[in-house]
Amino acid sequence: MPPSATLLNKSWLPSGPPTSARCCRGAFRDGLTGLFNRRHFDRELGRHWQQTSRADKRGTLAVIMADVDAYKSYNDCYGHQRGDECLRTVAAAISSAASRLTDTVARYGGEEFALILPDTDIEGAMIVAERIRTAVECLGIPHEASSSGIVTISVGVAATQTAQDSDPAMLVGAADRALYAAKRQGRNCICVADLDEAEPTESELLVKRG
């Protein structure tokens, strides 16, 4: 196991009694899917950004945002229990497809998932994005309300060279805008972020929520 992977896996684990460590682990895990939660995602994004924006170690950092297509319709059609099962299955597929131990896979909220890929340029991030899109598609989960007939995800990708005078939140925002674009293009596809693109409009937010 690479040393960097070991540091990532242990960076947030405290010293102290086992019970204390278990409680801390739970604070950073999503209760439904078992993935990391938004809190841990934000913490790791800031940590990686700080590490790779040092003058002596400028590096690239990528973020992937993925959203289950027509999830509200899935819940309406199959019920919330099946909806939860769907999210757990999709989460496992995404986590398995992001194979590097240095990557962070999190449930960002609702039916949205987010990945942090350290030392990854846009080409490398696109490979991972296609891998997770295909992994979910290949599950073949029936979805009568979807045009494809199965559960799929739309994916937005952003990557940049980090800098101390910039905000890591802009990378998440860019990936999220790319996700809106993937929804507009018909879903079950991947879009790459334009880092200079404007914030989404309310109508674009409504498209994403569908």
Task: Locate 123 and state its tokens.
Answer: 């080409």
Q: What percent of the chain has pLDDT over 70?
A: 77
How high is the mean pLDDT of the chain?
85
**Contacts of residue 8, Cβ cutoff 8 Å, sequence gap at least 6:** 44, 101, 102, 104
* The pLDDT value given to residue 194: 81
Name the residue ranges covered by the structural domains of the chain. 32-209
Question: Does residue 110 or residue 54 have the better pLDDT?
Answer: 110
CATH class for domain 32-209?
alpha beta
DSSP class per residue in the chain = --HHHHHHHHTTPPSS-HHHHHHHHHHTB-TTT-SB-HHHHHHHHHHHHHHHTSTT---EEEEEEEEETTHHHHHHHH-HHHHHHHHHHHHHHHHHHS--TT-EEEEEETTEEEEEEET--HHHHHHHHHHHHHHHHTT--B-TTSTTSB--EEEEEEEEE--TTS-THHHHHHHHHHHHHHHHTTSSSEEE--TTPPPPPHHHHHHHH-
Q: Which of 111, 130, 137, 144 is catalytic?
A: 111
pLDDT score, position 59: 82
What pLDDT was estimated at residue 123? Answer: 96
- pLDDT for 166 equals 78
pLDDT band at 79 (very low <50, low <70, confident <90, very high): very high
Residue 119 has pLDDT above 50, yes or no: yes
Res 209 pLDDT > 60: no
pLDDT at 207 over 90: no
Query: What is the structure's pLDDT at 10?
Result: 30
Please state which of the ranges 94-98, 110-114, 143-147, 165-169 shows the lowest mean pLDDT: 165-169
Residue 85: active-site member: no
Contact 161, 48 (CB under 8 A): no
For residue 210, the model assigns a pLDDT of: 53
pLDDT band per the 50, 70, 90 thresholds, residue 54:
confident
Pick 1 or 169 by higher pLDDT: 169
Tokens describing residue 127? 């490979």
Alpha-carbon distance of 176 to 157, in angstroms, equals 8
pLDDT in tens, 42-52: 999 999 998 88
5: pLDDT confidence band, cut at 50, 70 and 90? very low
